[in-house]
Amino acid sequence: MKKTARAHTNIALVKYWGKKDTDLIIPMNGSISLTLDHFYTDTTVEFDPSLTADSFILDGQAKQDQKLVHFMNHVRKLANIKTFAHINSTNHVPTAAGLASSSSAYAALALAASSAAGLNLTAKDLSRLARKGSGSATRSIYGGFVEWIAGEDDLTSYAVPLEEHTSWKIAMIAIVLNSAQKKISSRAGMQTAQTSPYYPAWVKTANDDLKSMRQAIETRDFELLGTVAESSALKMHALNLSSKPHFSYFMPESIIAMQKVEELRTMGIPCYYTMDAGPNVKVICEEENIAAIIDHLSKVFGKDQLLVAHPGEGAKLITNEGIEAK
């Protein structure tokens, strides 16, 4: 069977940064994210008995990818099959934005591959499967606000929706900064970060951050949401600065972007920043303030560097006629 799935990227408000099991991808702490509407991946999978290996096409180009083969082996084991597959994936992210993410990639692949293999997994089991491809993909199975429960093992580490279809008019403005810097993958980065002497404090404070973030979402407390998100991101980057060897995702422009966000706050416009495993800064705000924020940011960044996203949907199977109910 041939199946196509679509999944959107998510941005963590309370970050995942470190594993207690690198093979099964069990995180050291839980995390909370917002799935976005603007950036997504479409993936088609078809198992074919005539193949002698998985074939993978990404954005029209043939690719070799060991992580992907490893993931497909998990799917084959689950479905009790030995057949290889054609996998064709397209990232719908503005060109060179540096926002292509493994979260949408493995969430879409988990749904397309499991369906094509004849499995009809529950959302919870899909999130467990997506997790084995990439940790952040666990959360992209659901739309809106999502929590990844850290758990202890394969069965207990999965995502739960906190608010799938949120009515909160919240937005994220990605500031796309071009970087010539060599990229340190999140996989390698978080492993090094675990050598930081501050790592135990990161794990210890994560539960309070999760609790505050759940409360902020429940009570629509934007200031609390933003404060906790900004603090979680800065703590994550502080681990990188203090690990052995130390490293950083900051570019001069990243710092400028963060300062602009702080300026906006002193001007009375509530907004907060977050940053992941790259130099781009994402600004969290409410819909009513988007125009004022863009206006201020465009004093130093080009309008084409500012991409606005809103809460997006969970992973879905798509047919030629459109989206299938899942």
Contacts to ligand FM0 by CB under 6 A:
12, 15-17, 25, 31, 102, 134-136, 186-187, 276-277
Minimum CB separation of residue 324 from ligand FM0 in Å reads: 26
Q: How far is the CB of 25 from ligand FM0 (least distance, A)?
A: 5
Q: If you count them, how many residues does the chain have? A: 326
**Is 31 or 115 the residue whose CB approaches ligand FM0 more closely?**
31
Closest approach of ligand FM0 to the CB of residue 17, in Å: 6
- Amino acid identity, position 130: A
Nearer to ligand FM0, 6 or 15 (CB): 15
Nearer to ligand FM0, 157 or 289 (CB): 157
- The per-residue DSSP string of 93-118 comes to S-TT-S---HHHHHHHHHHHHHHHTT
Ramachandran quadrant class, 322 (left: phi over 0; alpha: psi -120 to 50; beta: rest):
left
Residues 166 and 142: their CA atoms lie apart, in Å, by 12
What minimum distance in Å lies between the beta carbon of 243 and ligand FM0? Answer: 14
Q: Which residue is nearest to ligand FM0 (CB)?
A: 135
Q: Which is nearer to ligand FM0, 25 or 284 (CB)?
A: 25
End-to-end CA distance of the chain: 17
Q: Which is nearer to ligand FM0, 102 or 115 (CB)?
A: 102
Question: Is 12 or 159 the residue whose CB approaches ligand FM0 more closely?
Answer: 12
How near is the Cβ of 211 to ligand FM0 at its closest, in Å?
17
Nearest approach in angstroms of CB 11 to ligand FM0 is 7
CB 108 within 8 A of CB 41: yes
| Of the candidates 291, 314, 280, 322, the residue with the CA atom closest to the CA atom of residue 110 | 314
Distance (Å, whole) CA 71 – CA 129: 9
Q: Which residues pair with residue 8 across a beta bridge?
A: 40
Residue 301 neighbours by CB distance under 10 Å: 19
